[in-house]
Amino acid sequence: MSALATAIYRGRERVPAPDPADRGLAYGDGLFETMRVSGGAVPWWDAHLGRLAKGAQRLGIPTPDAAWLAVEAAALLADAPAEAVLKLVLTRGVGGRGYSPPEMPVPTLVLSLHPLPTPFEGPLSLRWCETRLALQPRLAGLKHLNRLEQVLARAEWNDPSMHEGLLLDAAGRVTCATAANVFAFVGGRWFTPALHEAGVAGIARGWVLANVHGAQEAELRPADIESAEALFLCNAVRGILPVGRLGSKAWAPHPALDELRRRLRRDVPAF
């Protein structure tokens, strides 16, 4: 499970290891991106960098220069398998003891390459998680480093035939899976939870909302999910995966979902 390659930077300076006083380690004071590498490149690079920049702005962390970052990522990808996963962690950098952010932070950047997970086309088996996501509008949508809720939720099961768990927020609204977003097909349209108070606004989710006519955000309750005509999870590593089972509910393949996956594959052949 170790990385194929890792590059760590303090600002633009390459360093051998994270500093033990890094605020990423101390407070989860940072963001990350998990990117599919295909054909030696990252098809959704611009979308990932855009989300990173938005998150960094909300947290007040300087964003690395895009051109510099592209060069460094390309260097790491040069010796990598053509199909892989690139993870990026950006933190506020080294700090003293205390929450007060440094006035002139020098961000830490960690780029790491990982093997592509075993190919899997679904269908997925899901469960409902007991862990509820707290409501925090100031952090909702961001892919930040405070992920104990996801760790607790993912620790609820260890049956490898159970692929993912769906999470409700503290208000009982369906929010996302531990590491994917969810869409439900209802009345001929795709709906996904709005993420104003909890959850991560995924890049694959953004692709669906931008590219699929009528796809939109909505408030979804567990009954909406369980009565949907079709269901899928999506993330930037695996693309769109159909859900076949959730508790006692089961879904057969659905033509709308097959069509959606073909569209994604036309746009991003990796999926």
**Cα 131 to Cα 166: distance, rounded to the nearest angstrom:** 10
Total residues at the site for a second copy (CB under 8 A)?
63
To the nearest 10°, report the CA torsion of 62, 68, 74, 79. -90
**Cα 156 to Cα 135: distance, rounded to the nearest angstrom:** 21
- The nearer residue to a second copy, 60 or 253, going by C-beta atoms, is 60
SS (H, E, C) 138-154: CCCECCECCCHHHHHHH
- The nearer residue to a second copy, 75 or 250, going by C-beta atoms, is 75
Q: Are 67 and 97 in contact (CB under 8 A)?
A: no
Q: Is 98 in the site for a second copy (CB under 8 A)?
A: yes
- The nearer residue to a second copy, 81 or 253, going by C-beta atoms, is 81
Q: Is 118 in the site for a second copy (CB under 8 A)?
A: no
Among 62-70, 108-116, 118-126, 210-218, which window interacts with a second copy (CB under 8 A)?
A: 108-116
Q: Is 6 in the site for a second copy (CB under 8 A)?
A: yes
Q: Is 176 in the site for a second copy (CB under 8 A)?
A: no
Q: Is 2 in the site for a second copy (CB under 8 A)?
A: yes
Identified binder of a second copy from the candidate list 33, 44, 48, 150, rule CB under 8 A: 150
- AA identity, residue 222: P
- The nearer residue to a second copy, 185 or 193, going by C-beta atoms, is 193
Residue 94 DSSP SS3:
strand
Q: Is 22 in the site for a second copy (CB under 8 A)?
A: yes
- The nearer residue to a second copy, 89 or 228, going by C-beta atoms, is 89
Query: How many Cβ atoms from other residues are within 10 Å of residue 160's Cβ?
Result: 6
To the nearest 10°, report the CA torsion of 59, 9, 205, 233. -120
Q: Are strands 230-235 and 181-186 parallel, antiparallel or unpaired?
A: antiparallel
Please report, as ranges, the residues that interact with a second copy according to CB under 8 A. 1-3, 6, 8, 16-29, 32, 34, 59-60, 85, 87, 89, 91-92, 94-101, 103, 110, 112, 114, 131-132, 134-136, 138-139, 144-155, 158, 170, 178-179
